[in-house]
């Protein structure tokens, strides 16, 4: 059963998590962690949002985001997609 669609609206606060496939690690070292933060910074600028808090764990991460527009799914698709491509290329 899939999860219900997330309701998105301008000016919202969200706690978002993303976990590695089969709970596998998503970071091999600090270089990967920095790369993901760079991707996140690009997405924040592109999608007009603000990071209030973040936590990078071994196989997942947490974000608390404020979105000025109703675009959380597009922002997270960008973060996860770009970072995954960079991780796989490395």
Residue 43 has pLDDT above 80, yes or no: yes
Please state the rounded mean pLDDT for residues 3-14. Answer: 87
In order of 53, 57, 63, 90, the CA distances from 17 in angstroms are: 12, 10, 6, 23
Q: How far apart are CA 7 and CA 5, in angstroms?
A: 6
Read off the pLDDT band of 4 (50, 70, 90): confident
Give the mean pLDDT of 14-28: 94
**Mean per-residue pLDDT for 4-25?**
91
The DSSP symbol for 68 reads S
Quick one: tokens of 44?
Answer: 């924040």
Across 11-50, b (16+ Cβ under 10 Å) vs e yields ebebeeebebeeeeebbeeeebeebbeebbeebbeebebe
Distance CA 84, CA 89 (A): 9
Residue 60 pLDDT: 97
As given in the structure block, the two tokens for residue 55 are 């936590």
Percent of the chain with pLDDT over 90: 88
Evaluate if residue 10 carries a pLDDT over 80: yes
pLDDT band at 34 (very low <50, low <70, confident <90, very high): very high
């Amino acid at each position: 059963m899939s999860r219900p669609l997330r309701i998105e609206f301008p000016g919202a606060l969200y706690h978002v998590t993303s976990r590695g496939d089969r709970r596998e690690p998503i970071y091999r070292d600090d270089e990967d962690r920095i790369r993901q933060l760079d991707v996140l910074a690009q997405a924040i600028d592109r999608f007009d949002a603000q990071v209030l808090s973040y936590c990078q764990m071994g196989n997942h991460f947490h974000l608390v985001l404020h979105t000025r527009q109703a675009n959380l799914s597009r922002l997270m698709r960008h973060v996860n997609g770009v970072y995954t491509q960079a991780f796989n290329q490395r």
